[in-house]
Structure 1
Amino acid sequence: MVLWMEMNLIVFPIEEKATAGDQTAASIYKKGTGTFLRFIGNICRLSLHRRGFKRQVLEVVDWMEIGLSTGILYKSDLIESLQLIKEAGFDNIEVWARIGKEGKWIHYDYHNWDYTRKLKEKLKELTLRVVSLHAPFSEELDISQVEEEKRAFAISEIKKAIDVLEFLEGNILVFHPSTASSHFDNLTQKMYRLSQAKKSIDELLKYCQDKPIRLALENQLPHILCGYSVDLLKLIWEINSQKVGICLDTSHANLAENVNDVVKKFKDWIVSLHVSDNFGTSDDHNIPGIGNINWQIFVQTLKLVKYEGVFMLELLEQGKGWDVQKVLKEAIQSVKQIHGL
């Protein structure tokens, strides 16, 4: 699904005069993306004579695609969930690679390459594109770990996720810079955890330096290290790599700071989104509109910072008893409303 947003002018030669108000279909090639966009509608605005031939000026709307994290179906088998996602109207996904609590379920076991090959075949069959993969995380799997053995294990698991992402032809690896509490006895402890995270990210950067993959650090909940923009930005600045950016989670940000202020602070580093809503009291991951985030301002702020990625929804059931099929349809309608469609 494509969302239409920012106004642009595209000029190209035509043979016959076009009149304002014509209902015209045009295929527009967006330079640098290799993506053909088709806009059907009232696109003829006026005709010009220039250098002896006629030109048509089209006022069109720039685009942003919508995607869905498969985490909404984290209790279900990933391959079996894809048909539902496609039928709901999604073409882009983020693969959720987290093993379920206490091994009670496995949405996607990224260690299983036989399964991963079948997954790729199913994605191709359904013409679903993997945009990103959410790396595994838990309290035990933490790249900011003080204990080197545990930190090394976390890195090894994320490297496996990178390999899977490359195989699935995605290009953004989303991961948590820490799962540690943000409450420390002193500043020295906090700075050491941040330095451990940086050391780990440097290792991951080296691992994927020749791969077409960017690393996206997700802003955390406020009680976790890097839950506030100041800490995540410090980490980003110290890493200082074009291959490292930020995945902005709106539900997390809304619990810590003003979401739109966070967008402005992160601006050029935002390479991915986790879009959901809450009321500012708990990490609900609701459909946009079921909460207190001002989505119209959010979209305008994304335009302001020139975000060009996917509008990736991360909706989590979390015991709410959702009818997922119904929720997905409502989510798409909500996003259309946000964008004035």
Structure 2
Amino acid sequence: MKRLIFILILCYLIPAYTFCQKQDKGGSYPVGYSLDIKKIELDKLKADKQIGMDYIEIAGLGSFVNTDLTLKISVNDWLQKCDSLALILKKAKVKVWSVHMPFSAKIDISTLDELQRQQVIKMHLQLLKGLYRLQPQVILFHPSYYLEPNKRNARKDQLVRSVAELYRAVSENGLQLVIENMLGPTLTVGERERPLLRTVEECQELFARFPAGVGIAVDMNHIAHPEQLLLAFGSRVKTLHVADGDGTKESHFLPCNGKGQNDWNKILATLEKIHYKGVFMFECHYDTTTQLIECYRQLQENYSMQKKM
């Protein structure tokens, strides 16, 4: 009798995400979402943890980079900044799954200007010195910005060079480097070419030239039928950017609002087939983090119902 009373008390006192809750934190995968580094606050992260948001992806790092590719604060100040963020994360018991490294027309690891490419790499390595203190598991890079016409092959060569250098630094620290697929329904938009890694075939071509340990980050807003890219890369899929769209523009719809065209049952079936072991990382428009948790549960429920049919 005393044991029963003790268990009942625990069910009332332990937060909603514990074993007494009928619904778990999100089913097959832990759930995370992209958060600007300047919005990392203790109370917010504690509230996120309470509803089952275990992970974040740190974004917004470009705000610490000058146009000349130097850091806006000293390296020592940057390290102290990261130490203070690490303390907040520890207190909130929320983990950093991934870090989205900055990108822009100047912050482009495929640039043909070799001196600029070296400066871009140097800047990334300076940021990483602090970011390692946040104990992320995945370091994510864009392959390029938009390209000048008829320079795609040369840009690919520069990307391969940069990925090899970054992979060496990241892997030496025991972390997973990933490169994200980019939007590219057509080769050109206006007078520019689309970024690299715009199709399944181009991803396969370039990943064959990367170190074998480099993984892919599949952005489900950047490509129609993202399940095809997932299937093509299998165990090399190390992280996700979860959002809905139609593969023609940057929509970043919440998957549950019905505005996109992704088939989420096919996506979840493919993630299951390739034995994806990472976080279900939202990178989309939303009103509250609770909405993200509820959306993930709805996607899983829909998928479970389909499997029973």
CA drift of 1:209 comes to: 3.7
1:89 matched to 2:52: yes
1:171 matched to 2:137: yes
Which residue of structure 2 lines up, in the alignment, with residue 262 of structure 1? 229
Distance 1:87 1:40, change over 3 A: closer
1:246 matched to 2:212: no
Query: 2-side partners of 1:210 and 1:87: how far apart?
Result: 34
Q: Which moved more, 1:110-119 or 1:220-229?
A: 110-119
SS in 1 for 2:30: strand
Which residue of structure 2 lines up, in the alignment, with residue 289 of structure 1? 256
CA drift of 1:224 comes to: 1.5
Deviations 1:281-320 (A, max 9, x none): 421212112311111111001111111111111124xxxx
CA drift of 1:84 comes to: 5.2
Distance 1:109 1:263, change over 3 A: farther
Query: 2-side partners of 1:259 and 1:305: how far apart?
Result: 13
CA drift of 1:251 comes to: 0.4
Query: 2-side partners of 1:309 and 1:86: how far apart?
Result: 18
CA drift of 1:109 comes to: 7.9
Deviations 1:161-213 (A, max 9, x none): 332332111121011111133x733xxx2111111011111111222342111
Query: 1-side partners of 2:294 and 2:242: how far apart?
Result: 14
Which residue of structure 2 lines up, in the alignment, with residue 184 of structure 1? 149
Distance 1:281 1:190, change over 3 A: closer
Query: 2-side partners of 1:100 and 1:302: how far apart?
Result: 33
CA drift of 1:89 comes to: 3.2
Query: 1-side partners of 2:160 and 2:201: how far apart?
Result: 15
Q: What code does the residue aligned with 1:116 have?
A: C
1:333 matched to 2:294: yes
Query: 2-side partners of 1:119 and 1:215: how far apart?
Result: 22
Q: What code does the residue aligned with 1:133 have?
A: V
**Unpaired segments ≥5 residues, structure 1:** 1-36, 42-60, 317-321
Q: What code does the residue aligned with 1:179 have?
A: Y
1:207 matched to 2:161: no
Q: What code does the residue aligned with 1:158 have?
A: H
1:237 matched to 2:208: yes
Query: 1-side partners of 2:200 and 2:272: how far apart?
Result: 20
More strand by share: 1
Query: 2-side partners of 1:102 and 1:109: how far apart?
Result: 9
Query: 2-side partners of 1:153 and 1:282: how far apart?
Result: 30
Query: 1-side partners of 2:144 and 2:92: how far apart?
Result: 35
CA drift of 1:154 comes to: 1.3
Which residue of structure 2 lines up, in the alignment, with residue 138 of structure 1? 104
Distance 1:126 1:196, change over 3 A: same
Deviations 1:136-162 (A, max 9, x none): 111110010000111112111221333
Which residue of structure 1 lines up, in the alignment, with residue 278 of structure 2? 309
Q: Which of the pair has more CA radius of gyration?
A: 1
Distance 1:269 1:335, change over 3 A: same
1:197 matched to 2:159: yes
More helix by share: 2
SS in 2 for 1:220: coil
1:78 matched to 2:40: yes
Distance 1:84 1:286, change over 3 A: farther
Query: 2-side partners of 1:100 and 1:78: how far apart?
Result: 14
Deviations 1:253-299 (A, max 9, x none): 23xxx211121112221000000112444212121123111111110
1:156 matched to 2:109: no
Which residue of structure 2 lines up, in the alignment, with residue 99 of structure 1? 62
**Unpaired segments ≥5 residues, structure 2:** 1-17, 67-71, 185-193, 305-309
Deviations 1:224-252 (A, max 9, x none): 2212122222221112322x100000001
SS in 2 for 1:247: strand
Q: Which has the higher contact order (CA 8 A, sep 6+)?
A: 2
SS in 2 for 1:251: coil
When the two structures are aligned, how many residues end up with a matched partner? Answer: 263
Distance 1:200 1:307, change over 3 A: same
Task: Tell me if structure 1 keeps the 8 A contact 2:217–2:237.
Answer: yes
* TM value normalised by structure 1: 0.70
Q: What code does the residue aligned with 1:86 have?
A: K
SS in 1 for 2:222: helix
